Amino acid sequence: MKKVLLLFGGNSSEHQVSCKSAKSILENIDYSKYEVTTVGITQKNEWYQYIDAINRITDSTWYQGKVKKIENIIEFIKSFDVVFPMLHGINGEDGKIQSMLELFHIPYVGCNPKISSIAMDKHYLKIVLSHFGIPVTPFLLYNKSQSWKDIESVLSYPIIVKPCNGGSSIGISKANNRKELKKGIKTALQYDKKILLEPFLKMRELECAVLQNKDHWVISPIGEIQSGNDFYDFEAKYIDNTSKTGFANLPNEVVQTITDIVKQTCLHLELLGLSRIDFFYLPDTNQIYVNEINNIPGFTTISMYPKLLTSDKFTYQDLITTLIENAHY
């Protein structure tokens, strides 16, 4: 029986989302195959072995329950066969935890440090994808030395403002004028030093899930998000219940184009484990853009990544098992 270490929480704005993902995994993992130990990381980067009830893991004070502080982290994690880092955002998706695990030859689930860091930084991701001829949304990297007129000469309102390193749409806003742009940049700077500016597009938001299984990638059907807000921000994802997600109804040629882009992205970026590739589709012009890549996407049973890959023949538990069995270092 493999000894699996599940990591959750972390010093990230997506801490609570990570807790929800970990809860779903603990409720569905195959305990006949795996001996599971759960470790939570607090916002202060303290590591605790979590031995409390599964339901309490989503409580913001989980670390005040039945836990045991881990003093020697390296020696602790070296005793496991596989580490499953269900850590969203910085210090989880950006290659840092992956680098530590590789340094000590500890098998883990997910992309390697190089690809994790590129996928996490939306600016660098656009540069890399563009190099390989993969279409990305137009963008401008915010610089304090730029005048507002300089920005407005490149981008017209409305403008989307987003932190380069982040997820769950935290810190993202839509600016309809210069006043809102200034406010949006100020908000985004609370989450990252690098800020990306993009045009607000009249588009459909599409997603495709990718699962590595040995030497090939399993590519899901294409999903679609119908946001209850102007765009799929944090409120639309986690608070407003008017947003809808499901499988997309698209022309065959659009499906084929997106599938081809996914294959090229997997090939050039050498994606491992799990990833969700997000797209913008502009029906009026038939243009397709890669928006971003999530290398540790939301993993609750109702999150888009598992929903797109699971079926009657391939369950959520099967998905967890496949990821663990394809762990690497």
DSSP string for residues in 223-234: EEEE-SSSS--H
The CA–CA distances, whole Å, from 117 to 164, 228, 327 equal 11, 31, 18
Domain ranges of the chain: 2-109, 118-135+202-295, 140-199
Q: Cβ–Cβ contacts within 10 Å for residue 224, how many?
A: 18
Share the mean pLDDT of the chain.
93
Q: What is the pLDDT of residues 195-239, one digit of tens each?
A: 999 999 999 999 999 999 988 999 999 999 986 556 555 555 545
Q: Residue 239 carries which DSSP code?
A: T
Q: 61-115: per-residue pLDDT in tens?
A: 999 999 999 999 999 999 999 999 999 988 999 999 999 999 999 999 999 999 9
Percent of the chain with pLDDT over 70: 94
Q: Do residues 168 and 304 make contact, with C-beta atoms less than 8 angstroms apart?
A: no
* pLDDT band at residue 244 using 50, 70 and 90 as cut-offs: confident
**Phi, psi values for residue 8, rounded to 5°:** -145, 170
245: pLDDT strictly greater than 70? yes
Query: Residue 222 has what pLDDT?
Result: 97
pLDDT at 56 over 90: yes
What one-letter code names the amino acid at 188? Answer: A
> Higher model confidence: residue 138 or residue 237?
138
pLDDT of 229 reads 56
Q: What's the CA gap between 9 and 46, in Å, rounded? A: 10
**With bands split at pLDDT 50, 70 and 90, how would you rate the model's confidence at 168?**
low
pLDDT for 302: 87
* CATH of the structural domain 118-135+202-295, one choice from 3.40.640.10, 3.40.50.1980, 3.30.470.20, 3.30.420.40: 3.30.470.20
Per-residue DSSP letter, 156: P
Residue 261: pLDDT over 80: yes
The CATH number of the domain covering residues in 2-109: 3.40.50.20
Q: Which H/E stretch holds residue 203?
A: none
Question: If you ran DSSP here, which 8-state letter would residue 144 be given?
Answer: T
Strands 67-69 and 47-50, by their bridges, are antiparallel
pLDDT score at 231: 54
Q: pLDDT for 283-321, tens place per residue?
A: 999 999 999 999 999 999 889 999 999 988 899 999 999
CA distances from 50 to 71, 125, 321, 324 (A): 14, 35, 21, 20
pTM value is: 0.89
Domain at 140-199, CATH class:
alpha beta
Residue 239 confidence (pLDDT): 53
